[in-house]
Structure 1
Amino acid sequence: MAFSMGSRGGRGSRFRGSTSALAEINIIPLVDVVLVLLIIFMLTAHVMEFGLEVDVPKVKQVRQSAEDLPVVTI
């Protein structure tokens, strides 16, 4: 995949040595990112489908009274 940049030469050309310049777009990093995103999507879809068992710890609700709290004087 390439596209032409610059002018074709001529009277007002800034690039007098060459008639055209080619710039190629490197798509390999783009393909790498797309494949990594695809793998992440496939793994998360698998986990969402079957679920994941998590043991959440139980917490006792202990209410502190006003006497137990420290007194701060400014």
Structure 2
Amino acid sequence: MAGIVVKNASPGLPRTPISDGLPEAMLEQVAAHSALGRLETPEEIADGAVWLLNDEARFIIGQSLLVDVGFNIAGWR
């Protein structure tokens, strides 16, 4: 065993200076599609990534953690 562990945090569309350059109507449509009805923040994505690196997630290997305010579970409407 090489001792390499792969983990991934997959964000949706966070509110950042880059996304703030997109049309507001587009951001509202994406936010409305998420389970929480909003966009995630960079801090929320970082919290998920930090958790993956924490000893509490030592059993998580080869997985992708969706950190997207429920965008993927909401389903297309």
With structure 1 as the length reference, what TM-score do the two structures score?
0.26
- Structure with higher helix content: 2
With structure 2 as the length reference, what TM-score do the two structures score?
0.25
Q: Which of structures 1 and 2 has the bigger CA Rg? A: 1
